[in-house]
Amino acid sequence: DIQMTQSPSFLSASVGDRVTISCRASRSVSTFLNWYQKKPGKAPDVLIYAASTLQDGVPSRFSGSGSGTDFTLTINNLQPEDFATYYCQQSYNMPFSFGPGTKVEIK
Amino acid sequence: EVQLVESGGGLVKPGGALRLSCAASGFFSSEYGMNWVRQAPGKGLEWVASILSDDQYIYYTDSMKGRLTISRDNAKNSVYLHMDRLTPEDTAVYYCARKLDTALGDWFDSWGQGTLVIVSS
């Protein structure tokens, strides 16, 4: 099975900041990498699929990059509604494992 | 509008069983890979089970293998997750999710609101 790691596990940021979250796969997943946003009490929402493609309706301040084993989610101009936990997920092969999450909190 | 509604969660004693249901609307669930993902209290997302659109391929997480059965009823446009021999570690919110398959890859594009399973004596 492919293991996913994320860093940092927690970050504190202010509105307007630029935030970068890293995700690493235990072996290459090409660009089969997705990012989800999860808020307490709500279902996860996909933000980015195929490493860098923005899901319809997701603000353009979110972007993704990377291929192989190393990926990045960037949030520019952080907004109050962006404070949440972010998960990467590989869809290269089953099981479609998730990373442990990165919680973005208000500084 | 695509919608997934889970039900069947609740309080169950250790060693007990539970069947979760996921009712789909706005699309035919038979045409998609359908999945269960859970989140234990204070923990991250964990993929649990998948049934692919042709029903030939079914996958389960190793942590629950042998205790899970995923199935679907196309006439009811629903997917089910039967869980046996539950332990307190299975306490979690269980989400149903639709998998979109494209040339770019697969991802879970629609999710239900979740159903809470509590395993406790």
Chain B: residues touching A (Cβ < 8 Å): 35, 37, 39, 44-47, 50, 59, 61-62, 95, 97, 104-109, 111-114
Mean pLDDT of chain A: 97
Kindly list the distances between the CA atom of residue A91 and the CA atoms of A51, A85, B32, B54, B113, in Å, as whole numbers in the listed order.
Answer: 10, 19, 15, 18, 22
Q: What is the pLDDT of residues B9-68, one digit of tens each?
A: 999 999 999 999 999 999 999 999 999 999 999 999 999 999 998 777 999 999 998 999
Question: Residue B55's pLDDT is what?
Answer: 76
Q: What is the pLDDT of residues A34-70, one digit of tens each?
A: 999 999 999 999 999 999 999 999 999 999 999 999 9
Mean pLDDT of chain B: 95
What pairs with residue A35 in β-bridges?
A: A48, A88
Beta strand B10-12 with B115-119 is parallel
* Mean pLDDT value of segment A15-37: 98
Answer yes or no: do A95 and B108 touch at CB < 8 A: no
Question: Residue A92's pLDDT is what?
Answer: 96
Q: What is the pLDDT of residues B68-98, one digit of tens each?
A: 999 999 999 999 999 999 999 999 999 999 9
Answer yes or no: do A94 and B50 touch at CB < 8 A: yes
Q: What is the pLDDT of residues B58-68, one digit of tens each?
A: 999 999 989 99
Question: What's the CA gap between A22 and A51, in Å, rounded?
Answer: 12
Answer yes or no: do B106 and A32 touch at CB < 8 A: yes
- Measured in angstroms, the CA of A56 and the nearest CA of chain B are apart by 10
Answer yes or no: do B105 and A91 touch at CB < 8 A: yes
Residues of B in contact with A45 (CB under 8 A): 111
